[in-house]
Amino acid sequence: MASHTQRPEPQRPDDQLSSLAHELKTPLAVIAGFAELLAVRDDERTRREATAQIMVATERLANALDDLLKGIAAEQGDLAGRLAGTVADGRRARSAGQAE
């Protein structure tokens, strides 16, 4: 009997590449862009907004890289590589260390 459960459509390679480019390059653009603004502007508003947005974008980029690395590791069947020291884990550990 056919299942009526809705399953998400698998992404075509072109769509996957497009999503990956978007996930990686958008936060990179935010980090690089605000860094450039910080280099030429010295007002409090720019400093505050740039700092907040760079931190959010860095976290987002780290998570996107983790997903990418886990995907590659899964494709290679490398369980150890998939679970060991991810970028975001490293960032979280460093943040926790700084907070102490």
Least distance between other proteins and beta carbon 87 (Å)? 19
Which residue is it, tokens 């280099």? 39
- Nearer to other proteins by Cβ, of 65 and 73: the residue is 65
Restricting to residues 51-80, which ones interact with other proteins according to CB under 8 A?
Answer: 53, 56-57, 60
CB neighbour list of residue 96: distance below 8 Å, 6 or more residues apart: none
Complex with other proteins: residue 26 or 63, whichever CB lies closer: 26
Q: Is 28 in the site for other proteins (CB under 8 A)?
A: yes
Q: Please choose, from the candidates 97, 37, 91, the residue with its C-alpha nearest in 3D space to the C-alpha of residue 64.
A: 91
Q: Which stretch binds other proteins (CB under 8 A): 32-40, 63-71, 73-81, 83-91?
A: 32-40
Residue pointed to by tokens 């987002």:
60
66 HSE (CA, 13 A, CB side): 16
SS3 at position 7: coil
Query: Which residue in the set 1, 9, 10, 40 belongs to the binding site for other proteins (CB under 8 A)?
Result: 40
